[in-house]
Structure 1
């Protein structure tokens, strides 16, 4: 009975994780608000990484009864999102330096 309830929650959590990743990606491309203190690039980065981490967490929880698979799924999703962020955006900023594949993406 408990296994059936766990399996019933896997699909909604999985789809919620995918939706969080898609929503974070879309808001990372098109910020929906402006801020007096934050630059648009900063808002885009925050939306992208929030959606990425929430999505990876939900995917981790969806696969959780098998914790080895759950860790693999979450790590694989985050690895893909880091590669996408490096290749196509300027969303990787560490220590005040922006990292990106193309030279024009490296300015803040």
Structure 2
């Protein structure tokens, strides 16, 4: 969980096609999904605990993403509590400059 959040704050690679915001968003959601899966595995014999645990953790991660980040993007629109987090994605870090003449 902590690694997912760290990777979401500091993207570990640069891309010519993906923006840093898109990379951070993907790391956040994949990392948190893995965290939920691994933590769920600890409850395997008591599967009834998962009926509470999985929805609670999913709602918590969605709340964190909505309140403090720009990691909720649906159909090209960013959903966030703070207006400054609703900005459009930055351009890809390794994209060629279009201003060259």
TM-score, normalising length: structure 2: 0.82
Displacement after TM superposition at 1:71 (Å):
3.0
- Which ranges in structure 1 are unaligned for 5 or more consecutive residues? 1-20
Equivalent residue, structure 2, for 1:59: 39
Root-mean-square deviation (Å): 0.9
* CA distance in 2: counterparts of 1:61 and 1:72, whole angstroms: 14
Moved more, 63-72 or 98-107: 63-72
Q: Which residue of 2 aligns with 1:76?
A: 56
* Greater length-normalized contact order (CA 8 Å, ≥ 6 residues apart): 2
Greater share of helix: 1
Structure 1 position 39 matched with structure 2 position 19: yes
CA offset digits 1:38-88 (Å, max 9, x no partner): 000000000000111000011111112111202321221111111000000
User: Partner residue of 1:28?
Assistant: 8
Q: 2 CA distance for matches of 1:69 and 1:28?
A: 29
Distance 1:30 1:99 in 2: 20
Report the Cα distance in structure 2 between the residues aligned to 1:26 and 1:77, rounded to whole angstroms: 18
